[in-house]
Structure 1
Amino acid sequence: MDLSVKPLAIVTSQINTLARHAIALLPNLVAAIVFLLITWLIAYLIGRSLRSLLRRSKMRASLAEAMEKLSRIMVWTFGLLLAATVVFPGLTPTKLLAGLGIGSIAVGLAFKDIFENFLAGFLILLRKPMRIGDDIECEGLSGRVEAISIRDTFLRKRSGELVLMPNSYLFKNPVKILTDQPTRRIEIVVGVAYGEDVDAARDVIRGAVETIEKRDKNRGIDVFAREFNSSSIDFLVRWWTDSTPRDEHESRDLAVAAIKRALDEAGIEIPFPYRTLTFKDPLKIQSDEKE
C-alpha cells in the first residue's frame, strides 16, 4: 500500500475546490435570481397589459386567454435562457440551443403527457365554437366548462361534481357544444292508438305545443307521423327553445304536460303496449269449488 497517498487530503482538496467554484459563482447566481425576478415582473406586466387590451377588443375570451398564456410563456422562455447564460458564462446561445435540441428528445419522452395536454389546451382555447362557460357533452360526460388549465379542462357536471378532463382527451374525441347557438331544437315522440284519426291527432298535438311559453315563437313547430309502432302510430314532435340544459328540461316538461292534457280533452287515446298470449294446448281451468 502506497502510504504517500492520503485520501483525506484528496477529499479535502476536492471540497475546497468545489467551495471556491461555488463562491466564485455566487455573484452569477445572485444576478440570475435577480434576472428571473425581473423576468417574472415583465411577464406579469405584459400579461396584464395584454389582458386589458384584449378585453376592450371584440376578441373572444378564450382566444384572449390563449394569447395571454402564450405571451407569458415566450417571456419566461427567453428569461430562462438568459439566466442560464448568466450563471454559466461559457454557455453561449449556440451551445445552449444545441443542448436543448439534444435534451428535448429526452424531456419530450419524459413529459409527453404534459406537453400533449398543454398543446391540446392551447388549441382548445383557439377553437372558435368552444368557449369557457359553454355546456358540452363528450364521451358520456356533460357539464359546463369552467376553466382550461395547462393540463386539464375543468368541467362542472349538472349534478354539481367537478370533473378534470385531460385536454388531449377533450381534443381527440367528438365534442357536442350544446350552447353554441342561443336556441336549440328539442324533439319527443308521441304515440296515439290505431283507432284514432291521424290528422285530428296531429292538429291537437300542434295546438298543445303552441300554448307553451318556454319555446321560440319565431320558429315553427313540426309534427310528423313517423312510423307504425307495435301498439301506436308515433308522431315526431319538434320545436325550438333556449339552448341551456335547464331551459331544455323546462320546455320539455311543459310540452309533455300540455300534449297529454290536450289529447285527454280531445278523447284521443295514448295507448300502452298490448300483449297477447297464445298457448300450444288448450288451458284447463281448475276450480277450487267442491262438487
Structure 2
Amino acid sequence: MIRLMNVSCRALLVLVLGLAVCGEHALSQDETPTADDVAAEVTGSETESTKKAVQVADEVQVDPVNSDQRIESRLQEIMEATGWFDKPEVKVDRGVAFLSGTSDTKSHREWAESTAIKTSDVVAVVNRLKVAELPLWNFAPAIASLKQLGREATGVLPLVLVAIAVSIVSYFLARVGAGLTRWFTRSRIESSLLRQVAGNVVAVLIFIIGTYVALRVSGLTRLAVTVLGGTGLVGLALGFAFRDIAENYLASILLSLNHPFRVGDLIEVEGAKGFVRKVTTRGTVLNTLEGNQIQMPNSTVFKGKIINYTATPLSRQDFTVGIGFEDSIVEAQEIVMSVLKDHVGVVDDPAAIAIVESLGSATVNLRVYYWFDQTTHSPLKVSSSVIRLVKQKLTEAGISMPDEARELVFPRGVPVQMVDQLPTTPPALPQRSPSVTEPTTSVGEGDLGPEQGEVLRATEDDETVEGEANLIA
C-alpha cells in the first residue's frame, strides 16, 4: 500500500513537471501581453495598439551604419520640408524613432510613420503625431477644389476652342453640302421634296462627322463613340415617339413621287371635296367650293380613296326629265338631242344619249347623259343651261311634263257655278304665249367657265397655308 502511494506521487510529480515545461515553452512562443492588452482583455475594449499592428523594420542590422543623430536630423529635415506638420520633432534612441508634433491630415500622419520606418537603421517608430482639428467653418477644401477646377478648365480651354471651331466649320460645310446636293439632283430628281430630303441627309452626315471630330479633339473620345452609337438609337426612339409625324412625312414623299393630283385639281378624299391648294410635309390643304379650307393628314390622303375630278379633261353629267304618257317619246328624244348637239358646252365625242329610264306614276322618265370639257366649263353652269333649254324646247313642241303628285290641295276652296244649260261649243283654251328663243347662256349662269380659278382666287389670302414649300406642282 505504501509502495503504491509512492508510485502515484512520483507519477503526479512527473505530470506537474511536464505541464510546467509545456507552459514555459508556450510562453516563449507567444508574445508577452502588455498592460494595455491585459486591460483591453479585462474591459472588453480595443486600444490603438490592438487595432493596428505595430510597424516593424524589414531588417534590423546588428551593427548600424547610421547613428541616431544622423537619422534624427534626416527625418527632421524631411518633415519640415513637406510643410504638412506644425512644430515637428524627431527623437531617435537606439534605432527607435519618436515622432511628435501636429499633422494637418490623418493621411500625412501615416505617411510620416511609413517614411520613418523605411529609413535605414530605424527599427521601430513611435508615432505621437496629432491630427489638427479642422475649424467648423473651413472653406479651404472648397477653395482648393475651385482652384483645381480652374486649373483644369484653363488646361482644357484650348481644346474646347478648337472643338467649337470645328463644330462651326462642320455646320457651314453641312449647309454647303446640302445646297450642292440639291443643285446636283435638280436635273435628276423631279420631286422637290426628294431633293430636299437628299440635301438634309447629306447635311446631317457631315454635321455628325464634324461633331465626332470636335469631341475627339476635345479629348471626349468616349463621348464621341457614344454619339455615333446613339445616333441610330435616338432615331429609332424618335421614330416610335413621333410615329404619326414620320408617317405623314413618308406619305408626303410618296405623294410627290406618285403625283395622284396637282395643285388646282378638284379631288374628293374620305368625303372631303375641294381644290388642291398645297401639299406640305404635314398635310394636304384643300379649298372647298364654298371657300372653306380643309387640312388632311398626308397619311389619310395616301391611304384613302382619291377621286380626282380633273384628272381627265372630259366629264359626264346627267339629268332626268319626265314627259306625259300621251306624248311621243321619240319626239321628246329628238328634241333633247337637238338641244345637246347645238349647245356650246357639250362635246360631240363621246356622243350624248337620251334613254327611257323608267315609267313613273304619272310620267315617262327620260335619262339624259352628255359629256363636257371641265377644263373650260363649269359642271354646275352647263347643267343649268342644258336643263333650261331642254325644258324650253319641250314646252314649245307641246310635250307636257306633268307633276308626279297624286293629291291636289286647294287652300282657298273650289268655286262651283251652276248653269241651266250647257254651252253648245266648248270653251276656248287659253292662248299660249308666243315662244321666245332662249339664249345658251343666261345672266344667272354667266359664261359657263369653271369655278377653279374663282375658288382659288377667293382663298389666295389664306395665311394659314403660307410659310411652307409646296411639294407638288
Q: CA deviation at 1:176?
A: 0.5
**Paired residue secondary structure (1:88):** helix
**Paired residue secondary structure (1:170):** helix
Structure 1 residues 119 and 275, CA gap change in structure 2 (3 angstroms): same
Aligned equivalents of 2:281, 2:143: Cα separation in 1? 51
Structure 1 residues 203 and 67, CA gap change in structure 2 (3 angstroms): same
Q: Indicate whether 1:85 and 2:85 are aligned.
A: no
Cross-structure match for 1:281: none
| 178, 194, 197: which one aligns with 1:67 | 194
Rg larger for: 2
| 268, 284, 291: which one aligns with 1:153 | 284
Q: CA deviation at 1:37?
A: 1.9
Q: Indicate whether 1:41 and 2:41 are aligned.
A: no
Letter in 2 for 1:33: I
Please identify, of 162-171 and 222-231, the stretch whose mean Cα deviation from structure 2 is larger: 222-231
Letter in 2 for 1:75: V
Q: CA deviation at 1:250?
A: 2.6
Letter in 1 for 2:174: T
**Which has the bigger relative contact order, CA under 8 A and spacing at least 6?**
1
Letter in 2 for 1:189: T
Cross-structure match for 1:203: 334
Q: CA deviation at 1:274?
A: 0.7
Structure 1 residues 126 and 91, CA gap change in structure 2 (3 angstroms): farther
Q: CA deviation at 1:220?
A: 0.5
Letter in 1 for 2:399: I
Aligned equivalents of 1:13, 1:169: Cα separation in 2? 62
Q: CA deviation at 1:135?
A: 1.8
**Paired residue secondary structure (2:244):** helix
Structure 1 residues 158 and 75, CA gap change in structure 2 (3 angstroms): farther
Structure 1 residues 181 and 6, CA gap change in structure 2 (3 angstroms): farther
Q: Indicate whether 1:264 and 2:395 are aligned.
A: yes
Q: CA deviation at 1:184?
A: 1.4
Aligned equivalents of 2:248, 2:157: Cα separation in 1? 38
Aligned equivalents of 1:268, 1:19: Cα separation in 2? 104
Q: 1:119-130 alignment to 2 at 5 Å?
A: 119-130=250-261
Please identify, of 268-277 and 256-265, the stretch whose mean Cα deviation from structure 2 is larger: 268-277
Q: CA deviation at 1:9?
A: 4.9
Name the count of aligned residue pairs.
271
Please identify, of 258-267 and 6-15, the stretch whose mean Cα deviation from structure 2 is larger: 6-15
Letter in 2 for 1:30: A
Structure 1 stretches of 5 or more lacking a match?
A: 278-284, 286-291
Q: Indicate whether 1:165 and 2:296 are aligned.
A: yes
Q: Which deviations, in whole Å up to 9, do the C-alpha atoms of 1:102-134 show, x marking residues without a partner? A: 333321122112101000111111114323332
**Paired residue secondary structure (1:227):** strand
Structure 1 residues 19 and 119, CA gap change in structure 2 (3 angstroms): farther
CA RMSD of aligned residues (A): 3.3
| 370, 382, 401: which one aligns with 1:239 | 370
Checking the alignment, whether the CA contact within 8 Å between 2:215 and 2:224 is kept in structure 1 is no
Structure 1 residues 104 and 229, CA gap change in structure 2 (3 angstroms): farther
Aligned equivalents of 1:10, 1:147: Cα separation in 2? 64
Structure 1 residues 88 and 213, CA gap change in structure 2 (3 angstroms): same
**Paired residue secondary structure (2:404):** coil
Letter in 2 for 1:70: V
Aligned equivalents of 1:22, 1:116: Cα separation in 2? 44
Cross-structure match for 1:282: none
Q: Which deviations, in whole Å up to 9, do the C-alpha atoms of 1:36-55 show, x marking residues without a partner? A: 2222233224324533x26x
Please identify, of 132-141 and 108-117, the stretch whose mean Cα deviation from structure 2 is larger: 132-141
Q: Indicate whether 1:187 and 2:318 are aligned.
A: yes
**Paired residue secondary structure (2:365):** strand
Checking the alignment, whether the CA contact within 8 Å between 1:125 and 1:131 is kept in structure 2 is no
Structure 2 stretches of 5 or more lacking a match?
A: 1-133, 414-473
The structure richer in helix per residue is 1
| 342, 356, 362: which one aligns with 1:225 | 356
Structure 1 residues 91 and 183, CA gap change in structure 2 (3 angstroms): farther
Q: CA deviation at 1:212?
A: 1.0
Checking the alignment, whether the CA contact within 8 Å between 1:206 and 1:221 is kept in structure 2 is yes
**Paired residue secondary structure (2:400):** coil
Cross-structure match for 2:103: none
Please identify, of 118-127 and 74-83, the stretch whose mean Cα deviation from structure 2 is larger: 74-83
Aligned equivalents of 2:199, 2:300: Cα separation in 1? 25
Q: Which deviations, in whole Å up to 9, do the C-alpha atoms of 1:176-196 show, x marking residues without a partner? A: 011111211122222223332
Please identify, of 6-15 and 115-124, the stretch whose mean Cα deviation from structure 2 is larger: 6-15
Q: How high is the TM-score relative to the length of structure 1?
A: 0.78
Overall identity of the aligned pairs, in %: 24
